[in-house]
Amino acid sequence: MKHFWNDRYNREEYIYGLAPNQFFAAQLSQWQPGRLLLPAEGEGRNAIHAAKQGWEVLAIDFSEAGRKKALQLASQEEVDLTYQIDDITRYPYPTQYFDAVALIYAHLPKAQQGPFLQQMDQTLRPGGTLLMEVFHHEQLGNTSGGPKKIDLLYHEDELQALLKGWQIHLLEKASIQLDEGDHHQGPAEVVRVVAQKPGLQEGNT
């Protein structure tokens, strides 16, 4: 899989474009900047956008080619970006550190989805916010991007169960029109989540 993504990113163009994901950008504009974690960040479009808004960003991915392009873009945009090469399920996340975590098309097998969300819970500070836009099961019928195996896709009912105990502000299936570079084009079925970790501190939502 690492070879697949290095090969995909190893080209001049940014395959998902330079603009941030629209849902991510819209949500971020409502929050006060703080510490943001972006697992599976790829070529860095969301990380660079967040850094330009004043966020302290940690991006993680296992693709060296993605990191190289992200740091090139950060240099062009004159922003600071910390980008680590690692498996997002094995990274030693600090405890109760981040103000927000954004999972933008970060797809894991179903057996890992629950444990990974527990890791995100642990690394968020009390009151911190989880943001997700991921492909739904029904995306298998579309050609606009995403994994081709249902085991790597998400369902709103499954996420509802996995996020038990969180304060859920938004959890919905949405039919959208993707326009993100060459690899995310056309009608798409996604799941969107905005959830807050319980705690005494006030969150970003």
Per-residue model confidence as pLDDT tens digits over 99-118:
999 999 999 999 999 999 99
For 57, 110, 118, 136, the CA distances from 158, given in Å and listed in that order, are: 29, 9, 14, 11
**Cα–Cα dist 145/201, whole Å:** 38
**Cα–Cα dist 5/75, whole Å:** 22
Predicted TM-score (pTM) of this structure: 0.92
Locate tokens 């995306």: which residue?
Answer: 139
Domains of the chain, each with CATH number or no CATH: 21-38+84-196 (3.40.50.150)
Does the pLDDT value for residue 78 go beyond 60? Answer: yes
Q: What is the pLDDT of residues 125-138, one digit of tens each?
A: 999 999 999 999 99
